[in-house]
Structure formats: C-alpha cells, structure tokens
Structure 1
Amino acid sequence: MKYSGIGGQAVIEGIMMQNGDDYAIAVRKPDGEIEIKKDRYVSLTERYPVLGLPFIRGVFKFADSMVVGMKALTWSCSFFEDDEDAEPGKFEAWLDRVFGEKLESILMTVVMIFSFIMAIGIFMLLPLLIARLCRPFIPSETLMAVLEGFIRIAIFIIYIKMVSRMEDIRRTFMYHGSEHKCINCIEHGLALNVANVRASSKEHKRCGTSFIMIVMIISILFFMVIRTDTVWLRFLSRIVLIPVIAGVSYEFLRFAGRNDSRLVNFLSRPGMWMQGLTTTEPDDSMIEVAIAAVEEVFDWRAYLNENFPGWKEEP
C-alpha cells in the first residue's frame, strides 16, 4: 500500500472525492445518469499555517471535512427532493426573504453546530452519566474510566445499527464501501476499473469511522489518568479535552494511513472492525460513480506510473 492523498465521503446516491484543495461530487441521478460537480475548498490549515501544527491540526482538519461534507451532501440531496414544485411555507419564505443567498450557508452552520452539540451530549456526557450509576459497585477509578469507554463504544454501535435500518442509510453505506474500494484499488497499484475496484477491500485505515473509534480508545486512556473528584469538573473535562483527544487521534490516523507495518496494521484493527458497521459491498453501478468522482480530481495513471512502475491497464 502506498499513500495517495485522496479521501472521500459517501453522500446521497453518490460519492465525494477530495484531492488537496480540489473535490468532486458524483451522483447517480434518478434517471440513471451520473452528474459530476467539481469545486475547490482551501482548508483552514492552509489559510492559517499555525493551525496546521501537529496535535493542533486534527480539530481543524475535522472542521474542514465537515464543511466540505455538508456542501457535498446538500448538493447530492438536491436531486432527490420530494416535491420541487411545492410552495414554500411561511417560515421558509421568511427565511429566504431575510437571509437571501446566505440562507444555505447559515443553515449548514446551524446544522453543524447542532450536530456537534448532540454528538458531545450523546457520546461524551451520556456515557459518563450511565457509568456513574455503577459507581457504588466499582470503587476503582481506572475501571470506571474503562467502563465509561465501553459504554461510549456500545452507544455508537447501537446508534449505527439503528440508523442502518433506513433504506437511504443502507445505500449510503454501500457507496461508502465503493469509496474505500476505489482508494484501496489505486493505493495497491491496480488500474482503476470496475473489476479491480470490486476485488479491493471495503475497509481503509484513513476512514472517518476509524477516527471515531480511535477517539473512543484514546479517551479511555486520557480519563484513566485525568481524574477529578467533583461531578461538574468531570463533565467539563469531557468537553474541554475533546480538542486534545481529537488532535492525538488524528496524528495516529495520519501516521497509520502512510505506513503499512505489522504494528500499525495491528493497532488499526479496531477501527477497521468498526467499519464493518458503516461499509457494505456496493454494486457495479455504485463503483462506476466512485470511479467518476476519483477521475475528476486525481490522475491515477500518473500516480501508478510514479509509485508502481510496470503496472498494466487492462483493456
């Protein structure tokens, strides 16, 4: 495996692939055609170099991925609106009149902030509350930290299991699998075609699901060491330490994505196992969409020529 630098995200009936500042979204429209949009986003770490320092950049890289991901998701959803001719309600009309062209970006910001707050509540604070119910039976602070971590992982698994029952989410997980397969295909020196992509793995070490799993494991280690006696300080520590935990987790994920040693692969296994919940084998039509997104932003032939001399492109 050789690092390519490309990454992506599944959207509604499509894939977003990013290479540096360039990203492309490919969507399979209801009529069966593939629509592609290419755009550019300059990351915070590029605009402000100090934010790109190790252990600091992780939080801002995550913010960048949220911004690009929301843009891609919003665009993909536009092809599948239930009733495009329906008259907007009074509240929608008022929002459009007040905010005008800025409405979409404002709504995206509100959704991102709300999602972040909900994620903190569900995955950071709720496990602490549940773990505290067992406090009379577990005197050890170390065991309490481990219990809280396992509760956090259990909540995440239950959440994924619940949302995966929705048809749209199941198909999104299939597109997620096709995204990983495309990247694995290229990074293992194979020509980018449907047959090679289909034969490639649907798990990848640089996946966002792996990042979440690493965050959960790192949080266990942090909270085993950092202890407070008062309840409100414990709640505060879970919030304040999020950037630190995310920064450490990102550095590990970044290192793992660029290395293929046995030790790194072993340490990456928990995240890869978790991807079994968020990736599903795609069909060939989904693979075609992923390939279209890759080819819009990445010259994979030049990459293979440089990193895998002697590769052959099958007819």
Structure 2
Amino acid sequence: MNILKKIILFISKQYTSIGGQAVIEGVMMRSPNAFVVAVRKPDGKIRLRRDQWYGLSQKFPFMKKPFLRGVIMLLEAMANGIVSLNYSANIAMDEEQKEKALKKGKTEEEYEAEKKKAEKIDWATFFTIATSLAFGMGLFVFVPHAATEGLNQVFTLNWNLDGFMFHFVDGVIKACIFILYIWIIGFIPDIRRVFQYHGAEHKSISTFEAGEELIVENARKYPTLHPRCGTSFIFFVLFISIIIFSVLFTVITVGEGLPTIPKHIVAVLVKIACMFPVAGIAYEIIKFAGKNAGNPLCKALSFPGMMLQKLTTKEPDDTQLEIALASIKAVLFLEEKYKLKETDKKVLTLEEIDIENLAAIENTNTSLKDFLE
C-alpha cells in the first residue's frame, strides 16, 4: 500500500461505500453506481451479471436524509438480495432446472423467458419482500412478545405492558431466538456454503480497503469479519429495539381500555410500526462506527456485531474467494470504464458474460479514495 493510501485511511478512518451479499454459489457486489452478481457455474466458469445501479436516493435526493436513508437502504438491500438469489439459483442449478422444465413440456424459449422474469424486480419481488418481512416480524416481534406474556402468566410475574421489565425480557428473548435461528441454519450444508461466500465477500472488501491487488493470495489473510456487515446491522436493530421499546411503553399508554388480548395485539402492531425507524437509527449508528473505527467507543459498539458474524461467516476456500474478488473487480471495472460517477444517465445495459477466471477481469486505477463513504 502506498503512502497516500495509508494517509487517506488514517485521516478518514472510513470504509468503502462498496458492499455486497453472499448468494447461492456466488457473491453480489454493489458500488454507488454499479451492480454485479458473480456466480460459479456448474462447469467451473464464472458468470457475471453486470448492470448500472440507480438507487432511490439517487432519484429522490431527500431519501439521503439521516434516519430515512437507513430504511431505504434496507428495502433496496432486500430487493437486490432477492433478485441476486433468484439469479444465482438459476445459474447454479440451471441444467437441472432446465431439464425439469423441458420434461414438463416447456420449450427452451419459455424456460429462458421465465428465468429472466425471475431475475427482475417486479410485483413478485415485492410480494416476496412482503412475505419475508411478515415472517421476520412474526418470528422476531410476535413470538417474543407472546413468549414474554406466557412467562408472565405462568409464573405470575406481574409484568405490566406499560412497564420496563416486560419489554426488556421481550427483547432478550428476541435476541436469543435470532441467535438460535442463525446457529441452527448454519448446520444446513447449502447455508454453510452461503456463509463461506459471506466470509469471502468480507475478505475481498478488506483487500480492496487495504489497497492491495485483488487476488486470492492477498485476500486469504484477512478475517471473515467486517464492521459494516448486515449481521452487525441486525444486532444494532435488536439492541436499539430493546432500549426504545423498554422506554417507549413506559411513557405511552397502548390499548387503554381494551381487553388483554386486543391490548397486546395493539402493542405488537406498534412495535412492528416502529421497526423501520429503529432500522434508520441502527443504520446511522453503524455508519458512525464505520467512519470512526479507531474510536474506543465505536470499537465497543461494533464488537458484539462482529462476534455475531462468527455465526454468519465461515472461512472460504480459494474458489469462493475468487468469486468474491471477481464481483468486486467487475464493479470497479464498470465504475471506471463507463465513468458512472460522472453521469446521471443510463449508459450501461444489463449484460451477462462468462469468464474463465479472475484474471480475465481487467484491472483498474480505482482505489479506496474513490469510494470512501
């Protein structure tokens, strides 16, 4: 790493604005203006899905406002994640799915059309997001609340709905359910491979942030953990929700005059409504911690989320590292070649290419200073 890059890192104490997500046999990577999914095909080649990225905040600048931007980021990440997962599943299992479709009487053209449709953000995507949110809210909002009230009734603990203790215990149960859920699914072989790609994604980003060449040999040495991770974000959401709900319900009266069950239903609905503001607050905290990584307080704030990542990341092998590095290299290539930072027009259309290996992607002159948050 040259002296200039070291100075930039030291002064800014920031991380790159490039982020990603592990998918099935691949990694999605998104820069401020480019979007790439790299997937290992069954024949060993790397499939790259490359496109220009237009976020909602680019179209509507007011969405960049603090606290609101976190909510927008969460929704965009979910939409991109679903599209990327659908795409990676299609590539990783293409031959098998194609064979099944043909046996059912579909033509190759019909199969390809259906595959392309599944990779687009449409109403089906939003339905999937809504379903995922409903499942998440049910598991991490309704179930902990119901479990807390169950404990309250069984052991006659006299926890009031407008008291601190009820919502504190609710939050602790919520955190335990989340950790247990992640721990259990980590034993599923396919999920474990996704967790390996998650680790590879972090290693590739750390390699870029260190100013090193994006090759497997350089990426190996970096940890699978990273401060700006979705797992850390979820931890902050859980932690902040415990604080906010424990205080909020002591100062406001929820469902006054209602019978017990409707009163609890109203309380759950209030919690669900508050989750997006909570996500906005969590985003600002994790962004602040990222910008001030050397600060002891920020290190302390980041530590629990980093430890939680030990459940959601696993050590990748070299082939998985190659995929993650291909994804970030492709993003950097698009940013530089098409000068995406300098235009507000659509200059790149969605394209898919197959490459033999990481070396097939052209190196760029871009560096961390071009993508500091």
What TM-score, normalized by structure 1, do the two folds share?
A: 0.88
Q: Please say if 1:84 is aligned against 2:98.
A: yes
Change (3 A) 1:304 1:160: closer
Is 1:137 aligned to residue 151 of structure 2? Answer: no
Give me the whole-angstrom Cα distance separating, in 2, the residues matched to 1:247 and 1:89.
48
Partner of 1:117: 134
Pairing 1:257–2:257 present: no
The equivalent residue for 2:81 is 69
Aligned length: 302
Comparing 155-164 and 288-297, the one that deviates more? 155-164
Contact 2:16/2:368 (<8 A) preserved: no
Q: 1:19 aligns with which of 4, 10, 31?
A: 31
Q: 2:281 aligns with which of 242, 245, 248?
A: 248
5+ residue gaps in structure 2?
1-12, 255-262, 334-363
- Name the residue aligned to 2:317: 283
Higher mean C-alpha deviation, range 67-76 or range 241-250: 67-76
Q: In the TM superposition, what is the alpha-carbon distance from 1:131 to its structure 2 partner?
A: 0.8
TM-score where L is the length of structure 2: 0.75
TM-aligned CA deviation for residue 305 of structure 1: 7.8
Write the distance in 1 (CA, Å) between the matches of 2:220 and 2:49: 24
- Asked if the contact 2:19–2:205 (Cα under 8 Å) also holds between the matched residues in 1, the reply is yes
Offset of 1:284 from its aligned partner? 0.7
Q: Which residue pairs with 1:295 in the alignment?
A: 329
Q: CA RMSD in A?
A: 2.5
Deviation at 1:43, TM superposition (A): 1.1
SS at match of 1:83: helix
Identity of aligned residues (%): 35
Alpha-carbon distance between aligned partners in 1 of 2:368 and 2:74, rounded to the nearest angstrom: 29
For 1:223, the equivalent position in structure 2 comes to: 245
Q: Is the 8 A contact 1:138 1:144 kept in 2?
A: no
SS at match of 2:192: helix
- Alpha-carbon distance in 1 for matches of 2:15, 2:159: 46
Deviations 1:26-57 (A, max 9, x none): 11111111111111231112211222211111
Larger radius of gyration: 2
Per the TM alignment, residue 191 of structure 1 is displaced from its structure 2 partner at its CA by: 2.9
1-structure distance, mates of 2:164, 2:183: 29
Partner of 1:310 in structure 2? Answer: none
Q: Which residue of 2 aligns with 1:269?
A: 303
Partner of 1:212: 234
Provide, for residues 154-177 of structure 1, a one-character-per-residue CA deviation record: whole Å limited to 9, x for no partner.
111121122222211110000000
3-state SS of paired residue (1:269) = helix
Q: Equivalent residues in 2 for 1:94-109 (5 A)?
A: 105-109=122-126
SS of 1:86's equivalent in the other structure is helix
The within-5 A match list for 1:141-160 is 141-160=163-182
Write the deviation string for residues 134-189 of structure 1: whole angstroms up to 9, x where unpaired.
Answer: 22325472222221111111111121122222211110000000000111122233
Equivalent residues of 2:38, 2:47 under 8 A apart: yes
User: Distance in 2 between the 1:210 and 1:138 partners?
Assistant: 34
Q: Are residues 265 and 188 of structure 1, via their aligned partners in 2, closer, same or farther at CA, if it must alter by over 3 Å?
A: farther
Moved more, 257-266 or 188-197: 188-197
Q: Residues of 1 paired with 2:185 and 2:14: CA distance?
A: 33
1:186–1:128 CA distance, 2 compared to 1 (3 A): same
In structure 1, stretches of 5+ residues that fail to align are: 308-315
